[in-house]
Structure 1
Amino acid sequence: MHNRFSWPKLATALAAAVAVVAAGVPAAAGAASADTPTRIVIGFAPGGALDVFARTVAEKLRVSLGETILVENRPGASARLALESVKRAAPDGKTILISPAPPFTIFPLTYKRLPYDPDKDLVPVAYLADVPLVASASVSQPYKTMPEYIAWVKRNPASTGFGLVTLGGTVHFGVLTLRKAIDVPLTPTAYRGAAMMLTDEIGGTLPIGVDAIGGQMELHRAGKIRFLGVTGTKRSALLPDVPTLQEAGVPGFDMASGWYSAFVPAGTPAATVARLEKALLDAVKEPDVRARMAALGMEMAGQPGAQARKTIQAQRAQWKPIVEASGFTADD
């Protein structure tokens, strides 16, 4: 007697066998379980302004996405360690970098080698916040405006110190631009932190300095320092009565403001990026987020990832000839 195959029965048996095998195979690489926590990675220690911002955003995302959101602090190498860790993460939407501008705008110009490609290894998801900076001086100084300061420093060429907290950053190259424009050998003077810079300002040993608004507001309210001008192309909502440096006829600082944007690893599906973009933009539009961050010197921007990419390219293009002319290279 010959055995006869029943194709319907064979198909059923094969399907069952495949199901048994598949049950023992882990999910494909790059996929993530629905209950896998989403990590927001930042390159700074707990307690700072970016840490507070990231945790505030995380609270909003927990509600809007219905997921567990963790904030992971990976300080070191001027936020590059955080960037590298996100670059290596699975492109599944479960790892988000919130970064300041320099790793994407200035570092590609000042470092001979970077362990990442700022245009290929990460995808901009959303431009979240602006961090305007302000030029300040002691109230005991004889100048009350930037034009008055420039006239004063031309008369006092031995007092050319210009305070900042990071060499090789946008303020540094803004000072170099201003130095060339007014033909005065201004000296970028780097401090370990804003507190030390402001101490020298108030003490009269530093004629002027530039740093984030948030770190200077209390001294301004206390009548210790005077605000002379803000960076950027428009006045800050935090200091509406203070002109921009550009308005005051001071070149070099129109793209010197800081910002924070969100990124995910390259290869993250477009639908996942769009989902995160919406959640992040919704978060920074919340009135309580805006109010809390304003107290730390941030203005919520809420622009899509495409705008973040355009901003990065525009700022890098502006700074490139200035950095190249300076001959400055970073080495840490």
Structure 2
Amino acid sequence: MPFRIILKRLVVTLGVAIGVSVVPTAVQAAGSDTPTRIVVGFAAGGALDIFARTLAEKLRVSLNTPVVVENRPGASARLALDTVRRSAADGKTILISPAPPFTIFPLTYKQLPYDPDKDLVPVAYLADVPLVASTGANQPYRTMQEYLAWVKRQPSKGGVGLVTLGGTIHFGVLTLGKEIGVPLLPTAYRGAVMMLTDEIGGTLPLGIDAVGGQMELYRAGKIRFLGVTGTKRTSLLPDVPTLAESGAPGFESASGWYSAFVAAGTPAETVGRLEKAMLEAIRTPDVRDKMAALGMEMNGQSGAALRKMIQAQRAQWKPVVEASGFTASD
């Protein structure tokens, strides 16, 4: 398949939608006249948007109410968070958020307009988004161990591509560099397509991004996968070892995730009802299979477990962020 066509498909997979005005999609159903809103911080067409709309179809039936998906892109998903925290505490407005606003942003921003522990209530941990380290197929190393040996011999070539500075991959790269004694440099790209183009062209030795956005190039033999983030192998790539398995520590808590939240003050009974409905939805085979094609693994944990995980991940990253001296700004 021509490289140009592969990249075109990759753009679609990543849901690159710039300057698109999105009208929420209502799901018609019997029940309450007031629809439940699922708010996401990204434009329509991306993986999270598709996930939210798939979930909305399930909730329409289980909650017996209309459900709409409202796209509020901007400020790295913080606009969506702000919409939900200001909403009525009745469970009718649900945020589906990635990890950073709750785990990393409280460490990297000097001041946030919200309190991640007080302004929202965790409802359910829904999905994992595994990330994978990749390299161009023409590079001399075929495994992460070989890459580490190579970069130790050529420390001036320690650039590692990523699409966002100030995220877990950024700090994972710094951790790994410290462990192996090589000043690895997190190198930000404006998008995964640009990063992968440089990998294939041989100008970027290593890049790390979501599995879903790299699969077509991997299947086409344009890139190699060297290791996945997390503490265990992903079912999406069962033959690819974790980075930790391959001697590259620092990425055990670097995988992305999507979870649900509602405004503080929402009655516990309402939160419990939403938790039950959402966990039932993501455990259905059709949701699991559809999201696997987009690089997600359905997880399914309670709101209480989600709260504990957020605290644990924040505590883990705090000394790394502080040692880096990195601060975020818009």
User: What is the TM-score of this pair, normalised by structure 2?
Assistant: 0.90
1:290-305 alignment, distance < 5 Å: 290-305=288-303
Q: Is the 8 A contact 2:94 2:261 kept in 1?
A: yes
| d(CA) in 1 for partners of 2:165, 2:178 | 18
| d(CA) in 2 for partners of 1:161, 1:246 | 19
The equivalent of 2:156 in structure 1 is 158
1:225-244 alignment, distance < 5 Å: 225-244=223-242
1:251 and 2:252 correspond? no
| d(CA) in 2 for partners of 1:156, 1:139 | 19
**Structure 2 residue aligned with 1:310, among 287, 308, 311?**
308
> Which consecutive unaligned segments of at least 5 residues does structure 2 have?
1-30
Give the CA deviation at 1:249.
1.4
| d(CA) in 1 for partners of 2:35, 2:141 | 53
**Structure 2 residue aligned with 1:45, among 43, 46, 49?**
43
The equivalent of 1:188 in structure 2 is 186
Identity of aligned residues (%): 79
> Which consecutive unaligned segments of at least 5 residues does structure 1 have?
1-32
Q: Which has the higher Rg, Structure 1 or Structure 2? A: 1
Per-residue deviation, residues 84-136 of structure 1 (Å, max 9, x unmatched): 11000000010000000000000000000000000000000000000000000
- Give the letter for the 1:201 counterpart: E
**Structure 1 residue aligned with 2:77, among 76, 79, 102?**
79
The equivalent of 1:177 in structure 2 is 175
Q: Is the 8 A contact 2:32 2:64 kept in 1?
A: no
Aligned CA RMSD, in angstroms, stands at 0.8
The equivalent of 1:27 in structure 2 is none
Give the CA deviation at 1:34.
3.2
- Give the letter for the 2:142 counterpart: K
The equivalent of 1:277 in structure 2 is 275
1:205 and 2:203 correspond? yes
**Structure 2 residue aligned with 1:112, among 107, 110, 113?**
110
| d(CA) in 2 for partners of 1:311, 1:219 | 33
**Structure 1 residue aligned with 2:144, among 124, 127, 146?**
146
| d(CA) in 1 for partners of 2:149, 2:164 | 26
SS in 1 for 2:260: strand
SS in 1 for 2:197: helix
The equivalent of 2:134 in structure 1 is 136
SS in 1 for 2:157: coil
1:66 and 2:64 correspond? yes
Q: Is the 8 A contact 2:132 2:227 kept in 1?
A: yes
- Give the letter for the 1:93 counterpart: G
Per-residue deviation, residues 192-231 of structure 1 (Å, max 9, x unmatched): 1111000000000000000000000000000000000000
How many correspondences in the alignment? 300
Give the CA deviation at 1:253.
0.1
| d(CA) in 2 for partners of 1:93, 1:85 | 13
| d(CA) in 1 for partners of 2:248, 2:295 | 22
| d(CA) in 2 for partners of 1:316, 1:55 | 29
- Give the letter for the 1:98 counterpart: I
| d(CA) in 2 for partners of 1:182, 1:157 | 11
| d(CA) in 2 for partners of 1:130, 1:117 | 24
